Amino acid sequence: MTVKDRSAPDYGIINPGKDNGMRTNRPKTMLVVVQEGGSTGEFYAHAFSRRRDAAGFRRSCAKAAYRATEPVEVPAGTDVNALQRVLSAVGDELV
C-alpha cells in the first residue's frame, strides 16, 4: 500500500548564520482533520497550516456526507504519514 505524503512543508531558516532571530514565520503547530471514509470504516488524516483551510475541508466533507473531526492542533512537523498508518489500523480493527 502506498501512503501519500500529507506532512506539512518545512519552511526552513532564512538566515542560517549566527542570528537565530531571523527565521521565517514558520508555524509552530499544524492542524489535523480526521475524515471518516464512506461505509468501509476507513479514516484519513489531512494536515493544514491554516485554520481557514481546515474549515473549508470540513465543509467539503459535510457536502459529500463524510464526517470529519474538528481541527486538532499538533506540533509542526508531526509525521502525518505515521498518524495515517495508526488510523488505518484502527479502522481495520473496528470493521
**Is the pLDDT higher at 1 or at 44?**
44
The answer as to whether 24 is a domain residue is no
Q: Is residue 16 part of a domain?
A: no
The three cell numbers of residue 63 are 457536502
Structural domain range at position 54: 29-94
Q: What percent of the chain has pLDDT over 90?
A: 53
Q: Collect all residues with Cβ–Cβ distance below 8 Å to 24 and sequence separation of at least 6.
A: 11, 12, 13, 14
Report how many domains make up the chain: 1
At 62-76, the pLDDT tens digits run 999 999 999 999 999
Q: Look at the alpha carbons of 41, 42, 48, 53 in this order and tell me if their dihedral is positive or negative.
A: negative
Helix segments in 1-95, DSSP class H: 51-63, 80-94
pLDDT of residue 55: 96
Pick the more confident residue, 41 or 94: 41
Q: What is the dihedral of CA 72, 76, 77, 81, to 10 degrees?
A: 10
Assigned domain for 74 exists:
yes
Residue-level pLDDT at 72? 95
54 versus 12: which is more confidently predicted?
Answer: 54
